[in-house]
Amino acid sequence: MGQLLHGSARTTAALRRAIQNSQESLTRMASRYDLNAKTIAKWRKRTTVDDAPMGPHHPHSTVLTTEQEAMIVAFRQHTLLPLDDCLYALQASIPLLTRSNLHRCLQRHGISRLPQIGEKPAKKKFAHYPIGYFHVDIAEVCTEQGRLYLFVAIDRTSKFAYAELHSDQTRATACQFLRQLIAAVPYHIHTILTDNGIQFTNRQKDKWAFKHLFDRICEQHKIEHRLTKINHPWTNGQVERMNRTIKEATVKRYYYETHQQLKEHLSQFLMAYNFARRLRTLKGLTPYEHIGECWQKEPERFKLNPHHHNMGLNI
């Protein structure tokens, strides 16, 4: 764990230890470390390298009396009411009581959190799916030449990512992206999860419209097309997180004069991510190493040997 220092600190634990062990004069040490001589003298006198605690030695309220604090503590311990309920019940007896000083009072006495009643519900885990379950989404990015639309797909199991940049986000572009994704992935895709955008599905009011082209391509390749619940974008959280990862590595960190510069950098990032980035969720494997393991266990799920996509010699 890193050392925690206050915001204005100009010395570290190692520097403070060096000051305490040195026999040089204050002036010479101050000149060497670019510090004030008073700072050198202060740390020479101390026996530890930790920051001294700031604030009052005995915290107390400047508004509430000792008797009022005792009343608040006793009321909380006997009723176990939430903060706001305690506030409304005690304000008649303590007119100066506010929500903030009530909370600070409870914190000082270690009763700001109510005890857990009953068993805490267990966290739900993602359902396990075989390789081939893709999350798909669209995001906007910009260069000096203008706006581009980033189409992103990520496999829920292998974390293999695929992305393309397009000048529009029409249904034809979404379908083109789907075809390119199917061609790029070395295994069979069995499920695709998207939001309810018109690029991926018909609107609810379009009851009599023909089946969406995106759905027809999915049917053609025996892919189940699932939709997220309306107004629940977190259902597609894996690809939302991948969108953020890509943006943090590209447009939020670098400036691009042309669309081509961004496309080249995106291609390089995806290559490094899929073939070189080790992920904790895959137990230290890269996405393509995990795909290779799946190839050994379930070769029937694959269209071709994934090692043919590796760079360099396939030994």
> Does residue 252 have a pLDDT over 80?
yes
Report the pLDDT value the prediction gives residue 293, as an integer from 0 to 100: 93
pLDDT for 3 equals 55
* Confidence check: pLDDT of 39 > 70: yes
What is residue 1's predicted lDDT score, i.e. its pLDDT? Answer: 37
* 8 Å CB contact between 105 and 64: yes
294 neighbors 158 (Cβ within 8 angstroms): yes
pLDDT attached to residue 205: 80
Range with the poorest average pLDDT among 12-16, 126-130, 143-147, 214-218: 126-130
- Lowest mean pLDDT, pick from 17-21, 50-54, 236-240, 299-303: 50-54
- Here the tokens at position 234 are 């977190």
In the predicted structure, residue 315 carries a pLDDT above the cut 50 = no
Q: Say which residue the tokens 């960190």 belong to.
A: 253
Mean pLDDT of 162-185: 94
So what's the pLDDT on residue 207? 75
Residue 15 — pLDDT band, cuts 50, 70, 90?
confident
Q: Is the dihedral of CA 170, 171, 176, 177 positive or negative?
A: positive
Which tokens belong to 114?
Answer: 């109510």
User: Would you state the pLDDT for residue 32?
Assistant: 87
pLDDT-derived band at 54 (thresholds 50, 70, 90) equals: confident
CA–CA distance, 124 with 122 (Å, rounded to integer): 6
Whether the predicted pLDDT of 14 surpasses 60: yes
Nearest-5° angle of CA 11, CA 12, CA 18?
90
Fold assignment, 133-309: Nucleotidyltransferase; domain 5 (3.30.420)
Q: Is-above-0.75 flag for pTM? A: no
Q: What is the rounded average pLDDT for all residues in the chain?
A: 88
What pLDDT is attached to residue 6? Answer: 65
